Amino acid sequence: MNMIANLQTDITPDGPDYDIVRRVIELITEDYRDQPSLEAIAARLNQSPTQLQKTFTRWAGLSPKGFLQAVTLDHAKRLLRQEDMPLLETSIEVGLSGPSRLHDLFVTHEAMSPGEWKAKGGGLTIRYGFHICPFGIALIMVTDRGLAGLAFSDSGDEKACLEDMTCRWPNAQYVEDLQATVPYAARIFEPGKWSSEQPLRVVLIGTDFQVSVWQSLMKIPFGKAVTYSDIAKDIGRPTAQRAVGAAVGPTRSPSWCHAIARSARTAR
């Protein structure tokens, strides 16, 4: 009981942990262009690097480096899309040594290159088709890499469903192609065509955290329910249940969200 009370005190506005976490967030947000190292941040706060890493990660859910990367990426995305800044200038503006570093940052956290992000899907061909399925009408979207999107619609709402799925990558070329999507519909909705030796390839377009959550979802055995807490533990982020829920919600890739139950309720 005393340990719990101490933890609660530490993260109040008057607690030592709260002040450390607040100061790290302020420092990184203000000085991200300098790309400060963990050692540099710790020195400015009179902390050891090891202790600072543990404290910040425990309360923030990610490491100081991870937070620095997120802040850097957020600014880079704004410069690329809102200000149409070239890749080299964007890299320098956010404190990176060049486009290769920016590329690595995007690929790690967005599962795509900065050029693809800036292009909003430009140069990407996504083929789609509507199919009758056990849940009504299914919209299936595929690329050369595999299944890229799966959504469900009532009869008469197909146009709205398609618009919702295409708004994220407005510059991609969308082609209605039932010949391309029929094989996927069969693989998805006909149990007799499921094969562990020939798994269905799924294209996951999202942040590094989202992709890790979706990969965990795809490991859920058929007929089994898990909680957000279970998924958070599986991806090595046991305190990130809310973030897991947020990652499950917006995914346009097929995932087993129906297999997730609230931890305080019985799965049905």
Instruction: For the chain, give percent helix, strand, coil, nearest 5.
Output: 55, 10, 35
Q: What residues contact 200, with CB distance under 8 A and at least 6 apart? A: 146, 147, 184, 187, 188
**3-state SS string for 115-164:** HHHHHCCCCCEEEEEEEEECCEEEEEEEECCEEEEEEEECCCCHHHHHHH
Which amino acid belongs to residue 222? F
Integer Rg of the chain from CA: 22
Asked if 27 and 44 touch (Cβ cutoff 8 Å), the reply is yes
Nearest residue to 52 (alpha-carbon basis) of 151, 43, 204: 43
Rounded-to-integer distance, Cα 112 and Cα 80, Å: 14
Residue 161 known to be catalytic? no
Catalytic annotation, pick one of 133, 161, 167, 257: 257
Three-state DSSP class for residue 73? helix
Three-state DSSP class for residue 26? helix
Which amino acid belongs to residue 177? D
Three-state DSSP class for residue 25? helix
**H or E, element range at 43:** helix 38-44
Instruction: Give the residue numbers annotated as catalytic, written as ranges.
Output: 257
